[in-house]
Chains A and B, each alone.
Chain A
Amino acid sequence: MAVPSFLNWSYVYSSGLGIDDVQDIMDDFATQAASVSWTNPSAGLYQSPADSGGRWMDILLTRTSATILEFRVRDHSGSTVGTRRLQISASAPTTNYNIFIGQCHAVITAHVPNQAAREYLMAFIPDPDPEAASGCTTTYVVMKGYRNTSTATVAQSVYDQWGAIDNGSAAYATRAQVWYNGASQVAWTTLNRGALIALPMGMNINVSGTFRYLGRVPMCLLVSDSVVAIDAELQIPISSTTIGTFKVIGVDSAANYDHYMAMRK
């Protein structure tokens, strides 16, 4: 078995400790983005390299204040998919962050050590395999973030949801295709002998009035939040000869479904 295409794109990882200004995240993001062939058309604006189907997205990072980072995501047509923020701590203990970025994904997480809350910003172009990247749909970018543009934390009902262009209009909707028990909405966790189960995260989008499966979120797997800890680094077989390292970022794919996202690093 070969590495699945959604885990076989470019990727790079970086992290930082004890920051008290989001400029540190922005500077690191610029460095990492350039290393995976993103361009920087203007100040704070980063454009992903086009994939085989000509698909790309851009992200505008704005330092709203020393502790607030804004993240605007657009698709190739210039349509804004969504805008979200994260906030870091200005006082000790200051914030640690992670950046995961590649051809079709960009993820920033931030948290204060020993505190549960994980702030995040993320955008993806899902992998439509087995359909071709070209022409499958012209609206293919999904994103989410921890805070809205008033810097308020997103309510749980919205936290469930991801932003995308739905049938021509930007909207947050329940999109993550997750695994769960049919009644209690709890996913299974492990196999009987304890083998961890890691699964792709699919994404839905409204295409011409019908929700369609957009594809798998690149460089990401879902694992049970009952058996893995945030920040754990998991060695997961992704082909018959390849082990991938995935860092649990502590962001649920959707509320109540017991999945954490784990990003390849």
Chain B
Amino acid sequence: MAVPAFLNTTHRYLSTPGVTDCNTCISDLATELGALSWTESAPGSGLWQSPDDSYGRHFSILIERNAAANFHITTYDQNDLLIYARRIVLDGGGGCEVRYYTGSHHVVVEFQNSGTKQIYAGCMLMMNPEDDSINQNYVVCRGSVTTAGAAAEGINLPNWGMLVNGTPNTAARLTVWGDGSGSAHIPTMPGGTRLYVPAYMAVTHGGVTYACAGVIPQCLMGSRGTAGSAYTVPIDTSTTATFHNSHATAGDRGAYLFWRAD
């Protein structure tokens, strides 16, 4: 067994404590994305494009400071078509820890606010075992609120935004794994073993209802742990990786997302 393709993309993790102004997020992300071969369209523009993968796929994000507490991230697909613009908001006061999970195929920013946690996530889905060139709708994103402050995907919903027939659409796309009772989460085993599965997305594509749109890179769904804590997960017969139990869940289906943090 080898490391699965969706866990074998480049990745970095950064935690910055005590952030009080989103300018810090802009400079942190510039460092992280630059180290991962993302390119900025012009210095200081905040428009970053991911490196092409082996199929020539990429996506872009525009990062902006709307106010000291308001961080805006706008996601575009490979054709520069807008998916969604989203805002995440810093708590006031003494600042909060900001976590950045980045890679060639993904960007996640999580504000560990003392109050409501805030998250942005954007990525290119991976299609293994089909080749990644088959689906041109491979960019997905989610964020806490819109740039006007209205409810968006939030943090406790299975909703993600993507282009559907050329139009941005946010819907419950995360394919969760549970016992079907509606509130059950992914349990642990009798001996205490925690369970992790890939986070797949569903989309209506090419006339197929709920086709599998692919899997989120460097992400797992797993048994409930402690939100914010780190867990070591075997990803190969000889390889382990560190994942953070995100505050983001699949909503009332109870599954937590875990982001790669090593």
Q: List chain A positions with a Cβ less than 8 A from chain B.
A: 1, 128, 130-132, 135-137, 160, 174-195, 197, 202, 204, 207, 210-215, 226, 254, 256-257
Contacts and interface: CB of A to CB of B under 8 A. Distances in A.
B3 interface: no
Contacts of A135: 191
A230 B171 CA distance: 31
Contacts of A191: 127, 129-130, 134, 211-212
Given A189-B211, A191-B212, A207-B190, A175 B172 contact: no
Interface stretch (B20-28, B58-66, B97-105, B175-183): B175-183
9 contacts: A132-B191, A182-B159, A182-B253, A183-B171, A186-B202, A188-B211, A192-B135, A213-B186, A226-B209
Interface in B174-217: 174-181, 184, 186-191, 193, 195, 200, 202, 205-206, 208-213
B210 A177 contact: no
Which among A132, A212, A215 has the highest number of chain B CB atoms within 10 Å?
A212
A181 B190 contact: no
Contacts of B86: none
B177 to A, nearest CB: 5
Nearest to B180: A254
A184 B251 CA distance: 13
Residue with the highest number of chain A CB atoms closer than 10 Å, among B176, B177, B189? B189
B148 interface: no
B244 interface: no
B211 A181 contact: no
B160 to A, nearest CB: 10
B83 interface: no
Contacts of B134: 191-193
B72 interface: no
Main secondary structure of the interface of B (DSSP, over half): loop
Interface in B208-256: 208-213, 250-251, 253
B180 A213 contact: no
B190 A180 contact: no
B142 interface: no
B195 A213 contact: yes
Contacts of A190: 208, 211-212
Contacts of A186: 202, 209-210
A254 B182 CA distance: 12
B1 interface: yes
A192 B130 contact: yes
A192 B179 contact: no
B158 interface: yes
Contact of A214 (B184, B190, B205, B253): B190
B23 to A, nearest CB: 35
Nearest to A259: B180
B109 to A, nearest CB: 22
B184 A182 contact: no
Interface in B66-89: none
Nearest to B234: A130
